[in-house]
Chains A and B, each alone.
Chain A
């Protein structure tokens, strides 16, 4: 029997030698190879350089403030990644440490407290104190796993918020608003740009520290713990001590984030450290890929960027229609189906609009609050009933609410339809309904709309890439 020489021989397996040759030669395969080959220092540089040039590109205080907030949230995401990404502890109390750091800053550098510590003393002291607090919260929680840990830590967060809002020394919901600016070696940080660069410096230090930590024996043990706690224990790893360390390290980083956030805002309020912040940070970690430093950083920047873009209704419409179109093209097969569905939706909408105009003109006589070019186009396409937006700028009338509920219900129903062609057909009215809801309801309430959109973005990504943008897919041993 003769076989070609390059086919595998019986009894000889050459996986290792031929591994590179087996990688898919697609764009994705090459990107993966490049990503894996790139040294960590280059990746760090690739992260820091865009951050460093950002202030040169913007000239508004508003964008500078967004930049500072973004870096603070990047630090938060990095801190949360320690417990959630590496050790796999579902810590829902994390934001309390952020708040603690900020309030501790208020306690050591404000007119109210009557102290003005230098940042070189205050920030390390805050980091250590908050890490100790993390350790103490971890103590009663360390034997809990999964859901139980989540409930207990959430309880700690609520406890903390209740104290913040009700205690007199925190000035309750009014917060503490006479913070001194951050001082570094006697020099005050006066501009937002200054805060930005200080935060960037802390980012570089913390991300390098975390990178080394991840490669150390402790970091390895953390990841092992996440995979299989019993096996880790059988390998003599001190499981409880490792969990406490993770709590403490994550909390310490959140403390630093808080200590930078407080002076950049000039004030601290309980509402800045509530569950909404927690959900945002979780979304960053999940979106970017839990466990990957680069991933959670990118995730944080993306979420911040989307949230800020959606704040302005005219930008928000571009994001909305863009995400819908790109999502359809990315997810629908065969490829011609998505453009066909979109075109059908446009025709369907024109038909509905025409019919409505003839039957009941009041259904199309309103105007949307959207100001973007696309909204003007859409105005003569979707149904905007007269008086859809009340004098207070909020959606009025039962019709809007019904449409919103109808949209949620029909999207859920759509996921149950198995037949591909039927689903594509049903998608046409649902998309039109979505556009109506967007123009009538969501645009008028950007605060709600942005979280709805972030949620939709996360759901779509999780369906498409469950490990997050840069996360590693877990290999289950069965």
Chain B
């Protein structure tokens, strides 16, 4: 285990998780931890099990064996909604915004469980991070560009004031300059005290801002450690960084 004494208390822990799609064994004995306020990235190529890991954490696909522990509570048998109430939020792959609704409505829906009195404050906070979103709040989400949709999706997730934010491929479909910008935003969110688990293919950028990282291959964790060490790892560089 990479977490030693002195590391932050684990907010999320997967213990020996095995997940199946029907008869197909996908995740094999996955152990994974995200500490309080930590930024962890989950790397891996296509079909390595990254998204399945997220689905297991969210409870969209329940594991056949193993445990999902959230803030000390075993949530393995909990529904997705119940897990989310305990401080999870997700920026889904492909963003999954509500297309025919305005940006403002999308954001407000992210705060569905939050007290109404906090709505204004939460909105201000999101607008502060994404001034661009504020300008577009009356526009239909489906008519935004890909990058703008990504910002709205992140804003919508932040509206729930999560303790742990899960992000599925935040760099997907963004212009290179926006990739950097969105990782700056991730850093900004992180520095506000939110723990993040970022699933990415873009190993270089994500490792440069993460505290720790895991590398998945064919459903197994093949490498884990501090981001600063992983970024120098020979095999990893060859496999994902292309140099």
Contacts and interface: CB of A to CB of B under 8 A. Distances in A.
Contact of A236 (B84, B94, B135): B84
A416 interface: no
Interface string A220-234: 110110011011111
A44 to B, nearest CB: 22
Contacts of B116: 217
A476 interface: yes
B112 A221 contact: yes
Interface in A226-280: 227-228, 230-239
Contacts of B108: 217, 220
Contacts, number: 78
A472 interface: yes
Interface in A424-478: 472, 474-477
Interface stretch (B99-107, B180-188, B196-204): B99-107
Contact of B99 (A234, A237, A474): A474
Interface in A162-180: none
Given A230-B60, A233-B80, A477 B85 contact: no
A475 B58 contact: no
Interface residues of B, number: 33
Contacts of B113: 236
Contacts of A477: 94-97, 99, 141-142, 149
Q: Which of B96, B140, B149 has the most CB of A within 10 A?
A: B96
Contacts of B85: 236
A16 B97 CA distance: 19
Contact of A231 (B92, B136, B149): B92
Contacts of A221: 109, 112
A197 B22 CA distance: 60
Contacts of B112: 217, 221, 235-237
Contacts of B139: 16, 19
B222 to A, nearest CB: 29
A16 B135 contact: yes
B99 A227 contact: yes
A231 B99 CA distance: 12
B160 interface: yes
A475 B103 CA distance: 13
A278 to B, nearest CB: 26
Contact of A234 (B90, B94, B100, B149): B90
B135 A237 contact: no
Given A223-B101, A227-B100, A237 B136 contact: no
Contacts of A231: 92, 96-98
Contacts of A236: 81, 84-85, 112-113, 160
Contacts of A227: 98-101
A237 B81 CA distance: 8
A230 B81 contact: no
A227 B109 CA distance: 13
Contacts of A220: 101, 105, 108-109
B110 interface: yes
B65 interface: no
Interface in B70-127: 80-81, 84-85, 90, 92, 94-101, 105, 108-110, 112-113, 116
Interface size class of A (residues with CB under 8 A): 20 to 34
B163 interface: no
Contacts of B46: none
A243 to B, nearest CB: 14
A9 to B, nearest CB: 16
Nearest to A215: B105
B156 interface: yes
Given A230-B96, A477-B142, A235 B160 contact: yes
Contacts of A237: 109, 112
B58 A234 contact: yes
B208 interface: no
A233 B81 CA distance: 6
Given A221-B112, A236-B85, A476 B98 contact: no
Contact of A224 (B80, B109, B143): B109
Contacts of B97: 231, 477
Contacts of A476: 99, 142
A238 B82 CA distance: 10
Given A220-B109, A237-B109, A475 B80 contact: no
A113 B60 CA distance: 52
A212 to B, nearest CB: 15
Nearest to A16: B135
B98 A238 contact: no
A475 B81 contact: no
A228 B97 CA distance: 8
Contacts of A224: 98, 101, 105, 109
Contact of A475 (B92, B105, B140, B160): B140
B100 A235 contact: no
Interface of B: 58, 60, 80-81, 84-85, 90, 92, 94-101, 105, 108-110, 112-113, 116, 135-136, 139-143, 149, 156, 160
Given A474-B142, A477-B95, 17 more contacts: A221-B109, A224-B101, A224-B105, A227-B101, A228-B96, A234-B84, A234-B90, A234-B96, A235-B112, A236-B112, A236-B160, A474-B100, A475-B100, A475-B140, A476-B142, A477-B94, A477-B142
Interface of A: 16, 19, 217, 220-221, 223-224, 227-228, 230-239, 472, 474-477
The 3 closest A-B pairs by CB, nearest first: A475-B142, A231-B96, A227-B98
